[in-house]
Structure 1
Amino acid sequence: MSSVLTDLCRYPIVQAPMAGGVSCPQLVAAVAEAGGLGFLAAGYKTADGMYNEIKQLRRLTGQPFGVNLFMPQPNLTDPSAVEVYRQQLAGEAAWYETPLGDPDPCGDDGYEAKLAILVEDPVPAVSFTFGCPTRDTFDALAGVGTYTVVTVTTPEEAQTAQWAGADAVCVQGIEAGGHQSTYRDDPQTDGTGIGLLSLVAEVRETVQVPVIAAGGIMRGSQIAAVIAAGAEAAQLGTAFLACPESGAHLLHKQALTNPLFARTALTRAFSGRPARGLVNRFMREHGPYAPAAYPQVHHVTSGLRKAAAKAGDAQGMALWAGQGHRMARELPAGRLTELLAEELDAARAAVSTRSTQ
């Protein structure tokens, strides 16, 4: 690993920031204590909520950690398309006996307030999703000693991040669970993302900054593969989702290995932006009609998702998961981090042995 990443974590293992309460302080602390780099997800939280979780995390560990921010989204949504989708969801609202949420026209997720806190009270690392900050932002974070990472899905996005001043890029393959982190949501490109190994190699030949690989990684042998392809480290989300420290709903954790949820797909049904999750009834029924309207659709369906979880109905929940979800292991996060490192060492040794035979 690069020297800065080595300072942040003993192993080349990054726990992905999973918004919605999954990447809670307990999970991040457990990963950090075991030698990985854990990330808090500030998305969908208020600035105060983020700050309070950072304080809680600092009480749990003295090891380095990161915080992830959602970039502000341009308001390009067609209000009429959102209203049509609201009408389509009326039956869901009646079934779960909960009102639909109001679409929030502001897509900034409290970005400026959160950024101001992170400059005033720095954390070791900050990553960005759904876009790339300005050079002024990178300069401000560099000035307080914060390591910066931008999530990218193409070589062009990686080049933009390097030019803007990012310290590293997190390369997200099409296999990744949760939202696709493209800079610009273009419906014409739905499902046309690049597989992780190919994307890592392309980005590695395009930029000089360190690469962190993300997308469907569940085993140490896969970490070895992306490192061989040119990555400095691997970022895993779904692999940590089943851990007891994870804030994911129990139904979500159980669904990862449930044969009823055998495959994943990209959908706009829950948020209005392509995201990979376990295929369930809600996704099948509403995915084909959901508009490109993020975060408006997210706010509209928020109550439905919470009501489905409360009712114990996984068929109405957003079950975000990567393509490797069936390999999820219900282990404490610290033990999983150590096991991944052991598997990585074993994979490297096996390759070395084969190469000398």
Structure 2
Amino acid sequence: MTLTEQLGIGVPILQAPMAGAQGSELAIAVSRAGGLGALPCAMLSPEAMAEEFQAIRNAISGPVNVNFFCHTQPSPDPERQARWHESLAPWYAEFGLDIEAVPAGAGRRPFDHAACDALEPFRPEVVSFHFGLPAPELLARVKAWGALVFSTATTVEEARWLEARGADAVIAQGLEAGGHRGLFLTEDLTTQMGTLALLPQIREAVDVPVIAAGGIAEARGMTAALALGAEAVQVGTAFLCCPESRVSAIHRRALMSEAARHTALTNLYSGRPARGIVTRLMRELGPISEAAPSFPLATAAIAPLRAAAEARGLGDFSPLWAGQNASHCREVPAGEVIAELARGLPR
């Protein structure tokens, strides 16, 4: 049985879960078009997650993927926090903000029993994870209601690790992909490969289905991924300008401009490497900073700068997540994106 048949979807196309950029509307639209819609839950409270998921269940009867981060929550490091604040101080002064008022915490919680409690009544068909897998007892709870478990690998070693610990499919995330890198066995960015190099190596290394992610935005990318052994593709950036997404007007304009041709990995917005359109912050501070606190603690001090700049119509301090191929990021319904990708399927 193919992964498409196992999931019960019409085409082997998965919508990438994009926290902060989409909600239930995009997941519903993708699922109605025959793909597998996804609901990102990394930034949702259990109550908000249940509300979004109920909206999905009310709208469609097909399968859905819910996605979580499963990082280890760090403790604040006062010395590193001080260095981070010092790095950001000139921009705080520029906008007339008080850096001493920044809280130490941040808003992304890893998957835990509270999230599982809220999720279990809905019994989603797929539960996917970023940054590895949750603790065995949490994974067992998810599998107990029959959910398939997917997780992201950025290296062959990560793919093998995921398969050995119960992942039902591996998402091979190439270096081109937008948003957070899913790396979890190493922080060494020199280990990260492009999709066309990573995909066949992971395909040879594991027996579970492999899903290709990174740089795939239209039919030719779909054809290439399937030819290299992927059973499905996961697409994110191409959906960001769809009317069903929730990206800001600032982000949308950037995605449809020449600026989208220049992306970079940065840890400035969250503390972990993530790919986005190069912004003023990334240019002036450098995209990677050793001063940035551990994920997700870096977010707290960036948030006031982002809000102040966006109030002036500027994306200078906003995480404008995007992959390296935004060429098909257009203001068309998500169903049209699915139809374009599906042209790359074997006839």
**2:305 pairs with 1:304:** yes
Q: Identity rate of aligned residues, in percent?
A: 37
Per the TM alignment, residue 87 of structure 1 is displaced from its structure 2 partner at its CA by: 2.3
Q: Distance in 2 between matches of 1:79 and 1:191?
A: 29
Per the TM alignment, residue 144 of structure 1 is displaced from its structure 2 partner at its CA by: 0.7
The 5 A counterparts of 1:101-140 are 101-104=102-105, 108-109=109-110, 111-140=112-141
The equivalent of 1:229 in structure 2 is 228
**Of 155-164 and 112-121, the range deviating more from structure 2:** 112-121
User: For the aligned residues, what is the CA RMSD?
Assistant: 2.2
Q: Is the 8 A contact 1:204 1:230 kept in 2?
A: yes
CA spacing shift, 1:72–1:157, aligned 2, 3 Å: same
**Of 76-85 and 311-320, the range deviating more from structure 2:** 76-85
CA spacing shift, 1:323–1:284, aligned 2, 3 Å: same
- Please give the TM-score of this superposition, normalised by the length of structure 2: 0.91
Q: Distance in 1 between matches of 2:81 and 2:236?
A: 30
Aligned residues: 343
The equivalent of 2:15 in structure 1 is 15
CA spacing shift, 1:184–1:162, aligned 2, 3 Å: closer
What amino acid is the match of 1:7? Answer: L
The 5 A counterparts of 1:270-309 are 270-286=269-285, 287-289=287-289, 290-291=291-292, 293-309=294-310
Per the TM alignment, residue 331 of structure 1 is displaced from its structure 2 partner at its CA by: 0.9
Q: Is the 8 A contact 1:26 1:60 kept in 2?
A: no
Q: Tell me, what secondary structure is at the counterpart of 1:67?
A: strand
Per the TM alignment, residue 26 of structure 1 is displaced from its structure 2 partner at its CA by: 0.6
Structure 2: which 5+ runs fail to align?
A: none
Q: Distance in 2 between matches of 1:132 and 1:260?
A: 34
Per the TM alignment, residue 307 of structure 1 is displaced from its structure 2 partner at its CA by: 3.2
Q: Distance in 2 between matches of 1:261 and 1:107?
A: 26
Q: Tell me, what secondary structure is at the counterpart of 2:205?
A: coil
The equivalent of 1:50 in structure 2 is 49
**Of 157-166 and 257-266, the range deviating more from structure 2:** 257-266
Q: Distance in 2 between matches of 1:252 and 1:94?
A: 25
**Of 111-120 and 277-286, the range deviating more from structure 2:** 111-120
**2:4 pairs with 1:26:** no
Q: Tell me, what secondary structure is at the counterpart of 2:327?
A: helix
Per the TM alignment, residue 97 of structure 1 is displaced from its structure 2 partner at its CA by: 4.6
**2:52 pairs with 1:40:** no
Q: Distance in 2 between matches of 1:107 and 1:28?
A: 21
CA spacing shift, 1:127–1:5, aligned 2, 3 Å: farther
- Please give the TM-score of this superposition, normalised by the length of structure 1: 0.89
Q: Is the 8 A contact 1:96 1:304 kept in 2?
A: yes
The equivalent of 1:213 in structure 2 is 212
Per the TM alignment, residue 266 of structure 1 is displaced from its structure 2 partner at its CA by: 0.6
The equivalent of 1:168 in structure 2 is 169
Q: Is the 8 A contact 1:8 1:37 kept in 2?
A: no
What amino acid is the match of 1:316? Answer: F
Q: Distance in 2 between matches of 1:254 and 1:95?
A: 24
CA spacing shift, 1:306–1:65, aligned 2, 3 Å: farther
Q: Is the 8 A contact 2:30 2:338 kept in 1?
A: yes
